[in-house]
A and B are shown apart, each in its own frame.
Chain A
Amino acid sequence: MMMLAALLVLIMLIAALAALLLRNAVAAVAAFAVVSLALSVLFVWLRAPDVALTEAAVGGGLSSLILALALRRLGLWRVGGSNE
């Protein structure tokens, strides 16, 4: 079972590094969400489902949504509005 935790921590480390190093800001936000989701699985493994639910909803969902909207506001993320 320790292997699962090690794997999750590895995923988190890789995703965190990706969030730091990726040049594309939207991809960095997605990597940030991956860190939170892996952390929430880790919380389930540590038998803290309440905290896991909070981490998934707030860390994985809301924070990345707010970051993505902030990118939009800063003009770092353009939506191609050519279709329709």
Chain B
Amino acid sequence: MRKAAALLFTLGLLFLLSVMFLRFELGQAPMRIGKDILAAAPEQVGAANIVTSVVLGYRGLDTLGEIAILFTAATATGLILSGLGGGQRRDPEGGFILRHGADLVFPFLMLVGMYIVVHGHLTPGGGFQGGVVLAAAFFLPLLARPSRAVSHSALGWIEGLAGASFIVIGLWALTLDQAFMTPWLHQGVLGELFSAGTLPLLYLALGLKVGAELASLLAHLAEVEASE
């Protein structure tokens, strides 16, 4: 029965993929709203990276839903893992090369992560990608020295404050007679660091939230030792 279901699923997926492959040319997606957004976004939102103006401007509500999903998943995982009695037996310290390599790479990883977050409205990247890099950067010292304790409450505070400021920035648009999540503030010059209104602030909040959330999740996963 399960094999039949798996076969059915595979056949369906194959059918879907072959239809997509036959109907659409690779790299030439048929777009209707895309052209309008490409034409209107630079003046309406003022972000050099059009993808960001869609993610935070035109579809800001979707992004809020996304971080809500991520928050729920990370909270549930943390809840389950923290109940498993972590922190009894930890991995041994990393070797010389791992410890010093981690110390050396850590600031550069932080720099790359913050760069990707802060320049999200100018170049490819943004809060999610930069946040993941930040989380990886914070996980690296933990990998080298597993005995070091992680302050989950501090990570929780960062995450909560960043998430709250994301929503407050979105709500503040209501006081300016705009819809929820409409970008406000001065648009500035296209392509400069301080441009595109509230989008950089939103991405900064998003990056900190995603980074703190994933760092906490990874720390939880690393703390729980194998039950042999």
Chain A residues packing against B (C-beta within 8 Å): 5, 46-47, 49-50, 52-54, 57-58, 61-62, 65-66, 69-70, 72-75, 79, 81, 83-84
From known contacts A53-B116, A75-B228, infer whether A47 and B95 are also in contact, taking CB-CB under 8 Å: no
User: Is A54 in contact with B129, judged by CB distance below 8 angstroms?
Assistant: yes
Interface string of B208-228 (1 = CB under 8 A from A): 000000100110011011111
Residues of B near any A CB (own CB < 8 A):
26-27, 49, 51, 91-93, 95, 116, 124-126, 128-129, 132-133, 135-136, 139, 214, 217-218, 221-222, 224-228
Across the interface, which residues of B come within 8 angstroms of A50, CB to CB?
A: 49, 51, 124-126, 129
A57 to B113, CA, bound (A): 10
The answer to whether B27 touches A65 (Cβ under 8 A) is no
A54 partner residues in chain B, CB cutoff 8 A: 128-129
Q: How many A-B residue pairs have CB under 8 A?
A: 61
Chain A residue at minimal CB-CB distance from B227: A75
By beta carbon, the residue of chain B nearest A46 is B27
21 A–B contacts from the bound complex (CB under 8 Å): A50-B49, A50-B125, A50-B129, A52-B124, A53-B116, A53-B124, A53-B129, A57-B132, A62-B136, A65-B136, A69-B221, A69-B222, A70-B221, A72-B226, A73-B221, A73-B224, A75-B227, A79-B91, A81-B91, A84-B92, A84-B93
Q: How far is the CB of A17 from chain B (nearest CB, A)?
A: 15
Q: Within the complex, what minimum Cβ distance (angstroms) separates B207 from chain A?
A: 12
